[in-house]
Amino acid sequence: MDLIKRVLFSKRMILGGGLFLLFVFCLYPFLTLFFKIVFPQGGFTLQHFEKVLNSKSTMVAFKNTLWVSVGTCLMSTFMALPLSWLLTRTNIPMRDKWRSWFCLPYAIPPYIGAIAWIYLTNPSNGILNSVFGEGFFNIYTNSGLIWVMGSFFYTFILLSLLAALDRMDPSLEEAARLSGASPIRVFFQITVPIIFPSLMSGILLVLLASAASFGVPAMIGNPAGIYLLTTKIYTLQKMGSMNGIFMAGALSILLLVLATLVLIINQRILSKNSFKTVSGKTSRPSLIDLGSLKTPLSIGLAILFVILFVMPLGGITITALSKIQGKFELSNFGFQNFTRVFFETDETPRALMNSFNLAFIAATATTLMGLILGYINKKTKLKGRSAIEILASLPYSTPGTVLALAFILTFSAGVMGIPIRLYNTLGLIVIAYFAKYLNFSLRTTSDGFGQIDDCLAEASRVSGATWWISMKTIWFPLMKPALMASWFLVFMPAFSELTMTILLTGPGLETLGTLIFQLQEYGDASGGGAAVLALLTVIAVGLINGFVKFISKGKYGL
């Protein structure tokens, strides 16, 4: 009896500790941000909001953010909607390969794409301008900013639509075609209304991601004088004064409110009863025969993929191998940039080691926490467990600059009365990664627990096994693919994270993302250094994604 009590006590301690950490890292920082801005001296004040809202530059940044976000949504929709239909409802050759290839930009940090398109379309020495003439392309414009964001964020809509179309009952479309409706009419009158919630959900996610983006606006927008809310927050925080931090905090709260409104609207759209995706299909959809259009559409897909992925990757590779940027001669190519970055730049080994350690710790911690929270969510009847997913998704849904500032204000002087100062330490960065990507692990482990029948654990208990024995002999072995997928799905974005890290980092705390940013913006006069590390990042992402698909047998990964 004493042994059973000790086991139950240990179980409650673990589960209770997981819930406590969820509160500390996923909710408490936002409460701290709000109270420190609204009650800076213990009294209520809105002066910081008034300063921000009365600033002309803030209003300009807000308008720029709105226009760029809306433009990115339109571009992403026009790309993703026809692509999703073409790849799920037609007999286009190599459909499965095209699906994977067009989803690849989802796994690559958008700031890598910004660097690539700068190399390609820089008005002075861009690779494409060397072919078409100087100044023919200019990336430093509103349209350039929208193009780079759209070429990555369209995957949010594409993935959402592909999943919806795969779940949809194809008999509805087939019945319409048998009644004489053309494929285009069926698409707009049958398919689009049914997948409308998924389409709107993807559009709102693109809107939120565009408003929260930092790397692309900083690298393309700042040189063009196009400032967005995220770059404005970064500028205010880097002023080095408390007034600047408080103003950045006020602007962060406004951006957080905007993000929350977008999420609420998204949830309301998805919960509408007037739009439902019919699932439980009994047959595969009959594919539309493209006939004579098969070849030109295949060529069109190939051209689009070259523009979206091959050209940027090629631009990074050419720049990384070029001794002098903009000069295309065989003698100009070599590995001097690789040698300089990896063996002559003191920050590179430190940045790579810091990125690996931070990503490793964050991935391990989030996977363990995801295992605990996923168990509570799927295998217990704890009251209020539905709030777990809401709390875990809050940091992920929050713009990175806002989350970083919340952690700075929360952990700079202590944590809940405990004098633990983490500002300008790797500890604060890894905590921010943990909070940001916990949602990845929770969803993956919850999905894994959901596929394991409870009868296995019940049989274990009937046989006299304790909770620990059941976890060791049943849950862990069966959850191994989900746990490994969770680990790599967190490691991959954490290894090259920039938006949060640029605000949290300090001297000696360089990471791969911040070093690439510094080389691109400030510290690499000869060029090529940022391209070398960007190429390394793309290769690492590709290898990790391939490994995730292998260990999960294609269930996770792109």
3-state secondary structure 437-492: HHHHHHHHHHHHHHCCCHHHHHHHHHCCCCHHHHHHHHHHHHHHHHHHHHHHHHHH
Identify the bridge partners of residue 288 per DSSP, sorted by sequence position: 90
C-beta atoms surrounding 22 within 10 Å: 22
* 128, 316 Cβ separation under 8 angstroms: no
Tell me what pLDDT residue 423 has.
Answer: 75
* 512, 352 Cβ separation under 8 angstroms: yes
> What is the DSSP code (8-state) at residue 191?
I
CA-to-CA distance for 429 and 58, rounded, in angstroms? 28
Q: Nearest Cα to 152, choosing from 354, 308, 347, 266?
A: 308
Q: Hunting for tokens 């954490």 — which residue is that? A: 494
* 325, 528 Cβ separation under 8 angstroms: yes
Return the C-alpha torsion angle 302, 308, 310, 315, nearest 10: 150
Tell me what pLDDT residue 3 has.
Answer: 41
**The amino acid at 401:** T
Burial (0-12, 13-18, 19+ Cβ within 10 Å), 268: exposed
528: left (phi over 0), alpha (psi -120 to 50) or beta: left
Tokens of 349: 């080994």
**The amino acid at 106:** Y
Please say whether the structural domain 55-279+289-334 has been given the CATH code 3.30.70.1150: no
Tell me what pLDDT residue 354 has.
Answer: 92
CA-to-CA distance for 217 and 231, rounded, in angstroms? 7
- Counting every residue, how long is the chain? 558
CA-to-CA distance for 353 and 44, rounded, in angstroms? 44
Tell me what pLDDT residue 276 has.
Answer: 46
CA-to-CA distance for 339 and 108, rounded, in angstroms? 24
C-beta atoms surrounding 216 within 10 Å: 29
Q: Nearest Cα to 355, choosing from 484, 485, 492?
A: 492
Tell me what pLDDT residue 4 has.
Answer: 43
* 82, 162 Cβ separation under 8 angstroms: no
CB contact set of 479 (below 8 Å; sequence gap of 6+):
371, 445, 448, 449, 452
CA-to-CA distance for 437 and 493, rounded, in angstroms? 9
CA-to-CA distance for 355 and 497, rounded, in angstroms? 9
Domain 17-39+335-558: give its CATH superfamily.
Answer: MetI-like (1.10.3720.10)
Tokens of 76: 């992403």
Question: Cα dist. 58→221, 223, 277, 408, 409 in Å?
Answer: 15, 18, 41, 22, 22
Question: Cα dist. 369→288, 372, 475, 496, 501 in Å?
Answer: 46, 5, 15, 22, 22
Q: Nearest Cα to 134, choosing from 143, 122, 142?
A: 122
Coil vs helix vs strand at 90: strand
* 421, 412 Cβ separation under 8 angstroms: yes
Q: Nearest Cα to 316, choosing from 536, 524, 544?
A: 536
Q: Write out residues in the chain with pLDDT < 70, as ranges.
A: 1-18, 41-43, 240-241, 266-286, 325-328, 379, 382-386, 413-420, 450-454, 456-458, 460-468, 470-472, 475, 523-527, 551-558
Start-to-end CA span in the chain (Å): 49
Identify the bridge partners of residue 418 per DSSP, sorted by sequence position: 415
Question: Cα dist. 371→24, 281, 368, 379, 432 in Å?
Answer: 18, 32, 5, 11, 19
Task: Return the axis-axis angle of helices 95-103 and 294-305, rounded to nearest 10°.
Answer: 20
Identify the bridge partners of residue 59 per DSSP, sorted by sequence position: none
420: left (phi over 0), alpha (psi -120 to 50) or beta: beta
Fold agreement between 17-39+335-558 and 55-279+289-334: yes
**The amino acid at 345:** T
The tally of CA atoms less than 13 A away on the side-chain side of residue 347 is 19
CA-to-CA distance for 194 and 175, rounded, in angstroms? 15
Indicate the domain borders of the chain.
17-39+335-558, 55-279+289-334
Question: Cα dist. 463→78, 160, 261, 291, 470 in Å?
Answer: 58, 44, 50, 62, 10
Question: Cα dist. 47→34, 43, 57, 245, 354 in Å?
Answer: 13, 11, 17, 13, 39
